[in-house]
Amino acid sequence: MGDPLYATYEGVIRASGAAMVPVPLRPEDGFRLQAEDIAARITPRSRAILLNTPHNPTGAILTAEDIAAIGALAREHDLWIVSDEVYEDLVFDGATFVSPLAFEDLAERVVVASSISKSHAAPGFRSGWCIGPEAFAAAALPLSETMLFGNQPFIADMTERAVRDGSPVAAGMRTRFAARAALLQRRLDTETDLVVKMPEAGMFAMVNVAATGLTGAAYARDLLARGGVAVMPGSSFGQTMRDWVRVALTVEDARLDEACNRITTHLNQLKEDAA
């Protein structure tokens, strides 16, 4: 699976008895998982390819060509494709989302996972679903019944209604998050030496802080201590992002604008320290 990755993936994978094999996602590829990089890491023990599209933390979306190439690998090596698509409803205007389920020749080896946590802004319910072939569903049902024993049935009923009716809040979130990402990119790219990777979806943006001479973790600590701005070190999501930080787009516009002011001031302080 791609590195960087959502922080809980490794624990979930290891809990099943499997081992995670990270595949670096490179900025020059738009942080999209490349089939040739997967192929270089496939062994006789490989069983599945885990996709996250749209991707957390980078906001990258796999193209149809990306998925077709990855699908060809899956067929060649008889691998499952597990696709986490929880950010599907938060794709920005101008970007296109494609699921592996859209490929008829892959459907029998694809499992899609999603939830209402992002699309309906309802993470507290911890409610989601999987879609896959009949054999997968038959094996997953007894496991899910054991895991969810005692869970309130009304949450499942609520989730079904939410999926059928569609989200009343996703469109507004898409618009706000895209506008804030554009604001962040415009301000930091023009006022600082930091580089913003414009996301295609989701609620975060990645910022490269290599120009400061600090790692993302060191930069995040110093920015919080001296600038009063909290960002997430990229290394929290994998080793390939040690020079990056993740910025949340969920704060109000005025607060994000003020954060940009403080980031600029902090960067000037770092330059003075180095002088």
pLDDT digits 0-9 by tens, 36-63 = 999 999 999 999 999 999 999 999 999 9
Secondary structure of residue 160 in the 3-state scheme:
helix
Q: Where are the domains of the chain?
A: 2-165, 170-274
Kindly report the number of other CB atoms within 10 A of residue 210's CB atom. Answer: 15
pLDDT tens-place string over residues 176-209? 999 999 999 999 999 999 999 999 999 999 999 9
State the pLDDT at residue 71: 98
The number of angstroms, rounded, from the C-alpha of 51 to the middle of its chain's C-alpha atoms is 10
Domain 170-274, CATH class in plain words? alpha beta
State the pLDDT at residue 151: 82
Count of residues making up the chain? 275
d(CA 118, CA 257): 24
DSSP code, position 114? E
Domain 2-165, CATH class in plain words? alpha beta
d(CA 99, CA 92): 16
